[in-house]
Amino acid sequence: MREIVASSYFGTSAGFSAFTLAFQIPNVVRSLFADAALSAAFVPVFTELMEHGRRREAFRLASTLFLLILTVLGAITVLFIVAAGVIMPIFIGTDLQPVQDLAIGLSRVLFPVVLILGLNGLTVGILNAMDHFAIPAISPLVWNMVILAFLVVSHEKLHGTDRLYGYAAGVLVGTAIQFLMAVPLLRRYGFRLQVRGVSFRDPRVRQVLLLMLPVTIGLGLINFNVLINTTLGGFVSEGAPRAIDAAFRIYMLPQGLFSVAIATVLFPALSRLAARSDLDGLRGLLATGMRQIFLLLLPAAAAMIVLATPMTRLIYEHGNFGARSTEEVSTALFWFGFSLPTSGVNLLLTRTFFSLQRPWMTTRIAALNLGVNAAVSGALFIPFGIAGIVIGTVVGSAAMTAAQLVVLRRELHGRLDGRRTIHAVTRMALASVVLAAVSYVTWDLIDHALGRSLAGQTLSVLVALATGSAAYAAVVLALGVPEAKSTIALVTRRLGGGT
């Protein structure tokens, strides 16, 4: 909904591309120093202390890190705001030069989210280690609602580029509210922020920071891929950076619903198994998680590929977002679809390395991903434009998956249930082909019958997805995919009031 409203107001204009770039710079810094990297390094150490009954030490570690984050990220935020006029032009392509000042100004408004998300990463890490996932899962919804409110009000009350500043202010306020939602829960679990007794020389702090260094580099390199896409897009056209980002938002929906959710829930469990040196249990849980991700993301990828244009048109083509913008976004979305399953599995594989406290391994692999992405995108963006840029992401993601599996098999001293996984994924892929065919034919028939009104587009896309999903479920069940049967059984128990 946020993306629909924003795109209807700003389309794929140069100003919106400037906003996209201004948002991605702090997002890359956030990935280096803030929530995901910090949480990934913190959770294994915190969990290990809790597993050994050292609760007071675990909370003292959390307090020390809170104060450290506040100091370091606060200083980085101030430094960037002062130096934004020097830093931002480095990433601005030739087609975005006219809106350079706008990108600099927006980045100054948006950069404080780095500090807030750093503190939020610590609180979410504590809650996840305690097996609490509800508030961290709900808070992004509230974040989006706050931004939507700012979008609508600023569009009505402001004019010109001030509307984009209103959007940026909404992101900042929404991020602050997201953090504040988690804070009261910490008291419920016994956490109190301590100032006395904390020491930056605590060996556990050093352990987290040593773990965080490769995690930071690894996750930062992954997020640099997005920045590479945006920067190269600035050399294709003024609308290309925003078009790629708009496609990326659709692409991330199944990622957030499925792979991020599975990886987030399994991460503390993987960390506990690693702390107990239970490699058999860790291998089994990892293999099960991978099959669950493939079960959900292979059909999502198939639907995204065959319905890229209808989805883009339905979601975005309103207001100032026209047919040309739809063509650009759907091109990016089509190619993004091919990387959806491997990208989802990469999230789980990366967190497995983190749980083993072997983050340097996945950091080297992330560097490989970045190099492959940059090389392929750099070679293809001139002849193929947006498509060439996104193909680099597809190839890089596949290379990273293969490399992580090879190294993990060695680290875990045994097979990762590969034969069973390959058999299951092959059957899921066959079912996904059926889904693609059923979805496209259903959409085409309804589209010809009802036309391109909003109601007609909504019905054609939703019915196509529903019939395709039904066909997929029927095929995976008929082919005897165990993960499909267990998922159906789980849903049936929940609907029946079971546990």
pLDDT tens per residue, range 450-462? 998 989 999 999 9
> CA-to-CA distance for 450 and 311, rounded, in angstroms?
16
Domain containing 148 equals 1-215
CA angle 228, 232, 233 (to 5 degrees): 115
**pLDDT the model gives residue 222:** 61
Establish if 410 belongs to a structural domain: no
Establish if 149 belongs to a structural domain: yes
**pLDDT the model gives residue 137:** 81
Q: What is the pLDDT along the chain (499 residues), one digit of tens a residue?
A: 888 899 999 988 889 999 998 998 888 777 666 556 666 677 778 888 887 778 888 888 888 888 888 888 899 999 999 999 999 988 887 778 888 899 999 999 999 998 998 888 888 888 877 877 788 888 889 999 999 999 999 999 999 899 999 999 999 999 999 999 988 888 887 777 777 666 777 777 877 777 776 666 655 566 677 778 888 888 888 888 899 989 998 998 898 888 877 887 888 888 888 888 888 888 888 998 999 999 999 999 999 999 999 999 999 998 888 899 999 999 999 999 999 999 999 889 988 887 887 777 877 888 888 889 899 999 999 999 999 999 999 999 999 999 999 888 888 877 788 888 899 999 999 999 999 999 999 999 999 999 989 899 999 999 999 999 999 999 999 998 888 877 666 555 554 555 4
Number of domains in the chain: 1
CA angle 283, 284, 287 (to 5 degrees): 85
Give the per-residue SS3 of the chain: CHHHHHHHHHCCCHHHHHHHHHHHHHHHHHHHHCHHHHHHHHHHHHHHHHHCCCHHHHHHHHHHHHHHHHHHHHHHHHHHHHHHHHHHHHHCCHHHHHHHHHHHHHHHHHCCHHHHHHHHHHHHHHHHHCCCCHHHHHHHHHHHHHHHHHHHHHHHHCCCCHHHHHHHHHHHHHHHHHHHHHHHHHHHCCCCCCCCCCCCCCHHHHHHHHHHHHHHHHHHHHHHHHHHHHHHHHHHCCCHHHHHHHHHHHHHHHHHHHHHHHHHHHHHHHHHHHHCCCHHHHHHHHHHHHHHHHHHHHHHHHHHHHCHHHHHHHHHCCCCCCHHHHHHHHHHHHHHHCCHHHHHHHHHHHHHHHHCCCHHHHHHHHHHHHHHHHHHHHHHHHHHCHHHHHHHHHHHHHHHHHHHHHHHHHHCCCCCCHHHHHHHHHHHHHHHHHHHHHHHHHHHHHHHHHCCCHHHHHHHHHHHHHHHHHHHHHHHHHCCCHHHHHHHHHHHHHHCCCC
The amino acid that residue 360 corresponds to is: W
Establish if 470 belongs to a structural domain: no
Establish if 176 belongs to a structural domain: yes
- Structure-block tokens of residue 470: 């039904």
Closest by CA position to 286, among listed 407, 397, 408, 406 = 408
**pLDDT the model gives residue 94:** 73
Establish if 7 belongs to a structural domain: yes
Establish if 59 belongs to a structural domain: yes
Q: Which residues contact 390 (CB under 8 A, 6 or more apart)?
A: 229, 244, 247, 331, 332, 335, 336, 377
Tokens 């979805």 appear where? 439
Establish if 63 belongs to a structural domain: yes
> CA-to-CA distance for 300 and 187, rounded, in angstroms?
39
Q: Per residue in 273-320, pLDDT tens?
A: 888 888 888 888 899 899 999 999 999 999 999 999 999 999 999 888
**pLDDT the model gives residue 386:** 94
**pLDDT the model gives residue 413:** 77
Establish if 122 belongs to a structural domain: yes
